[in-house]
Amino acid sequence: MNQVVAASASIGYHAPLEIALPVIVAVVVVKVAVSLARGRPGIVGEIVVRCGQGHVFTTTWSPLGSFTSVRLGTARFQYCPVGHHWALVRPATDSSLTGGDGRPVDRG
């Protein structure tokens, strides 16, 4: 009986720490580099996003994960505080941010 339990507990592959740690570090470095190349925060930062209904707001954005939203590729499913609804949000491009008169909004 003990052999059956021991055999079923060892199913699967667990990389040794000497292999797993460099792989994890490489993935984090690549995610941060891609994020910085796209003009987004490297680790954590506030960015301007737009929900599916067009509402614009700022949110905390991290390429490594989130506690307040569900990541779906380049979009996030999270609560929109402007429209008071849940929606897919994406980073807003600078060219899409305009004031009421059509001029770009100053984010500084």
Q: Is residue 26 part of a domain?
A: yes
Does 8 fall in a domain?
Answer: no
- The predicted-structure confidence for 46-91, as pLDDT tens digits, reads as follows 888 899 998 999 888 776 666 667 777 778 898 999 999 999 998 8
Q: Looking at the domain assignment, is residue 101 inside a domain?
A: no
Q: Under a CB-based contact definition with an 8 Å cutoff, are residues 69 and 57 in contact?
A: no
Running DSSP on this structure, what letter comes out for residue 29? H
Mean pLDDT of the chain: 74
State the pLDDT at residue 96: 62
Q: Which domain holds residue 73?
A: 15-96
Alpha carbon distances (Å) from 80 to 49, 59, 66, 76, 84? 10, 10, 15, 11, 5
- pLDDT of 45 > 70? The answer is yes
Look at the chain and report how many structural domains it folds into: 1
Q: Provide the 10 A C-beta neighbour count for residue 63.
A: 20
pTM for this one? 0.53
Q: How far apart are CA 23 and CA 29, in angstroms?
A: 10
Q: Is 95 left (phi over 0), alpha (psi -120 to 50) or beta?
A: alpha
Would you say residue 3 has pLDDT above 80?
no
- pLDDT value at residue 107: 43
Q: Is residue 104 part of a domain?
A: no
pLDDT tier for residue 101 given thresholds of 50, 70 and 90: very low
Nearest to 49 by CA among 78, 91, 93: 91
pLDDT of residue 56: 92
Residue 90 domain flag: yes
pLDDT at 108: 41
* Residue 105 maps to a domain: no
53 inside domain? yes
Distance separating alpha carbons of residues 64 and 25, to the nearest angstrom? 12
> Across residues 8-29, what is the average pLDDT?
79
**How many residues are recorded in the chain?**
108
Asked if residue 24 is part of any domain, the answer here is yes
